A = this chain, B = another copy of it.
């Protein structure tokens, strides 16, 4: 077995992954752009609103005509009509005049404010009594008040949320430029691995990683390209890696819980001319035996074989890598999936590495409680019981019951 001769600290690994950039651009209709990442700054082509609008139901008036009006001393207005939604008002408002207007309606000429319906009392069909003074522009938004023509609406690298799509629709962006979703070639390796539909013999296990890593890609805005299961065979693995690199932007090879596979992975990577080894081991647990290299400018990654380790390496390093390949400025949307939680038990850890402990997060009296899930190494059920993980920093020897810790939520 080759020992890990380029063991890196997590921060170093993350810095290296920043070398990789977005995969390309495409243009999509708004209907297809949810969760996609903008590839350009979007600048507003027009003012929003485009005209002076009421923000309340009421009467459009000249504000100064209400000055001094109060419940004890109301002002009287002559109602000269009603403004229809979506139409330009047919007349202007003069001194002492008012027009009925609904929220979103266009203000008539002459008017510079809206008195809310609550403060208007009809006296007869043509007269209202106004019991409140309004200031100019009250209950009104003017052209550009919301978004000004020429201003930056959303920046490159922003992942589009429902409200972003709405605002873009409001500004007339029917199509938007976005980065292409990265394609991830996924290969599961190991002589013991059989497909889900197989009936495993003693000694064999079904391919768990394909499904876990495939869905992980989808959760991170990437497209999995499954290349199947590869036995521990040099030629077969080499040809699968070649195929994967042709069809995808990044290649994940998982497996190699056995020593033979680990060595094989690296041996195969090394046969490529433009191979550059970046990381051979990371000082985290679980997940140390991770290999990250570059072939022809594309990242190729050897993930640990055990699904728990593979998923933690994916959360910690592959999510940022996919964000880089997607052009996304933020990995998990604007807020991240990091929450503060109160630890329910002590966690021991070895200094010199980052430890990731699976936890079960539960809400208790308005606070999140993190219950560490211990158990024999090699189990997969804690991943299903758990809904997040807590990091124990490299220079910490453990965390204590009652500590407020940061947890990364699983998806």
| A residues neighboring B (CB under 8 Å) | 30-31, 34, 48-51, 53, 55-57, 84-88, 102-106, 139, 141, 145-147, 153-154, 160-174, 190-194, 196-197, 199-216, 218-219, 232, 257-261, 305-307, 311, 333-336, 338-340, 361, 363, 366-368, 376-381, 383-384, 387-388, 406, 409-411
A165 touches B379 (CB 8 A): no
- Distance in Å from the Cβ of A49 to the closest Cβ of chain B? 7
Q: Residue on B with the closest CB to A55?
A: B378
A336 touches B363 (CB 8 A): yes
A163 touches B410 (CB 8 A): yes
B167 touches A87 (CB 8 A): no
Complex CA–CA separation, A134 to B53 (angstroms):
79
A48 contacts across to B, CB distance below 8 A: 380
Copies in the complex: 2
- Distance in Å from the Cβ of A287 to the closest Cβ of chain B? 14
B206 touches A86 (CB 8 A): no
- Distance in Å from the Cβ of A158 to the closest Cβ of chain B? 9
Other-chain residue from B57, B162, B212, B378 in contact with A163 (beta carbon distance below 8 A) = B212
Q: Residue on B with the closest CB to A142?
A: B376
Q: Which of A145, A163, A367, A410 has the most CB of B within 10 A?
A: A163
Q: Residue on B with the closest CB to A304?
A: B103
A166 touches B212 (CB 8 A): yes
- Distance in Å from the Cβ of A309 to the closest Cβ of chain B? 10
Can you spell out 30 A-B residue pairs with CB atoms less than 8 angstroms apart?
A31-B214, A50-B202, A55-B377, A57-B259, A85-B190, A85-B203, A86-B204, A87-B192, A102-B259, A103-B305, A103-B378, A104-B205, A154-B384, A161-B215, A162-B311, A163-B212, A165-B212, A166-B307, A167-B381, A169-B196, A170-B206, A172-B196, A333-B387, A334-B387, A334-B410, A335-B387, A335-B409, A336-B363, A339-B339, A340-B368
